[in-house]
Amino acid sequence: MNTPKPVETKGSRKSLETARNTWKFILEDYQEGHAHKQAGRPVIWSCAAVEKELFYAMGLFPYYPEQFAALCAVRRKEKGGEKEAVRFARLAEQAGYSADLCGYERVVSGYVINGDLADAPLGGMAPPDLMVTTSAICDVRLKWFEDMAQRLNVPLFTLDRPERVYARIQQHPLPHEVRYYRSQLEDFLSFVTEHTGIAYDRDRLDSALDWAYKANELRLELLELRKAVPSPMGCPDGFATIYPGMYCSGTEKAFEFYKTLRDEVKARVQAGRGQIENEKFRLLWYGIPLWFNMSIFNYFEDIGGVFAYEPAYNPSPWPARRPDDPLTEIATRTLSVGTSMHSMVESIVEQCREYRIAGGVLAYLLTCRPVYLPGLEIRRALEERLGIPSVLIECDLVDERSYSEGQVKTRLDAFGEQILKRIESGEPIQKRKAVA
């Protein structure tokens, strides 16, 4: 039997110097985590939806299995070999985990099953002393973290976070909702103290929140700058630079990173420079990117197309600071953002107008229900309300075995031709349509 040829995928071409330097930031962060562990200080494994400032306030160093799976999707153990994500996913499947499960889950489960946490990119994640996850957004997180905690014999806490079903993108939560989630945060801090002996320090949390708010304001400013024509910063740079904001919120180094990025993008806007020299149309990317093949974001550049906006992982405006009660502040902030399909669709339609989007590429990730379920509704809304076309790409987010290059290129080529034909005929990029 012939061994299947590895999928030939590659990283994206980035237009910003700060984006190209993100890898150094990630490398140093992983090294800091290993040094933290070697010094006998506690390490926690968590997820993107948990408030990171809590970790820094309690002296914990966080690693994120989801991010680690994405890292494995871009790294090979040896030149010409399969991606590390595929190696670990195979181990999970051999242990009985279904190939239909979330790619993040399969990759990290296989990594844990492998039994050698250092046998991985960047030396892997430092062994955890405890774990915390949340009940929100993701279907698989609860059982995934339970499974990892049992295999590694570490305590696990689950933050029970209510889903937010709002008629609009953001809405102030009700008092009883804030009280409930605040009590969850208090219980988590008590859990950390019980297992590490570290007491909660309100001043330390307040300091972390100060850095987080400053960084969030810079990220919001970046979103406004990105609306400029030509597009000064698109999806290749956007996804490349999410790590500090998603995983290091509450640190000075994240703030400094976004300050540098903001200054670079602002200078580009002032100079009228875009991602490419001859921008003809701007695209939306919906969903988690295909981490194993980020070069897809450069696919349309030869015909003047740029991916200008991605709704995933972007910040929202935060309510006012509450230095007197940082836990209430965090609870209010978290519960202010809608997590329903309606909130998502409304936000995407609004942003497509503001970013002058001509079409959307939708990552129809069949192993990630929270992402793929809204896909068809988003596609319908873009067509009915803005008159813009979209195309679906079906695969996994980190497992390149699910990627059909020929099928994807055929769909993207037809999609690009459709948009160019509209432009060449003089039709408007968007057509506002009345909705019955």
**DSSP per-residue letters across 324-346:** T-HHHHHHHHHHTB--SHHHHHH
Domain residue spans in the chain? 17-424
From the list 221, 228, 219, the residue with the least C-alpha distance to 275 is: 228
Percent of the chain topping pLDDT 70: 95
pLDDT of the residue at 326? 96
Model confidence band, residue 436 (pLDDT cutoffs 50, 70, 90): very low
User: What is the three-class DSSP state of 283?
Assistant: strand
Mean of the per-residue pLDDT values of the chain: 92
Please state which of the ranges 56-65, 109-118, 217-226, 424-433 shows the lowest mean pLDDT. Answer: 424-433
pLDDT of the residue at 165? 66
pLDDT of the residue at 1? 37
Using one digit for the tens of pLDDT, what is the confidence trace for 218-231?
999 999 999 999 99
Cα(20)–Cα(18) distance, integer angstroms = 5
pLDDT of the residue at 169? 63
Using one digit for the tens of pLDDT, what is the confidence trace for 349-401?
999 999 999 999 999 888 888 787 888 999 999 999 999 999 999 999 999 99
3-state helix, strand, coil in the chain (%, to 5): 50, 10, 40
Q: Is the peptide bond before 230 cis (omega within 30 degrees of 0)?
A: yes
Using one digit for the tens of pLDDT, what is the confidence trace for 394-431?
999 999 998 999 999 999 999 999 999 999 998 888 87
Please state which of the ranges 5-14, 159-168, 189-198, 310-319 shows the lowest mean pLDDT. Answer: 5-14
pLDDT of the residue at 4? 43
User: Do 70 and 398 contact (CB within 8 A), yes or no?
Assistant: yes
From the list 167, 205, 163, the residue with the least C-alpha distance to 342 is: 167
pLDDT of the residue at 337? 83
Cα(294)–Cα(397) distance, integer angstroms = 11
pLDDT of the residue at 217? 98
Average pLDDT over residues 268-293: 96
Cα(104)–Cα(123) distance, integer angstroms = 18
Cα(261)–Cα(268) distance, integer angstroms = 11
Stated as kind and residue range, the H or E segment containing 352 is helix 341-354
pLDDT of the residue at 370? 79
Reported pTM: 0.93
Cα(10)–Cα(334) distance, integer angstroms = 35
pLDDT of the residue at 8? 59
Given a cut of 60, whether residue 434 has pLDDT beyond it is: no
Given a cut of 80, whether residue 7 has pLDDT beyond it is: no
pLDDT of the residue at 2? 44
CA angle 284, 287, 291 (to 5 degrees): 105
Using one digit for the tens of pLDDT, what is the confidence trace for 121-150?
999 999 999 999 998 888 888 899 999 999
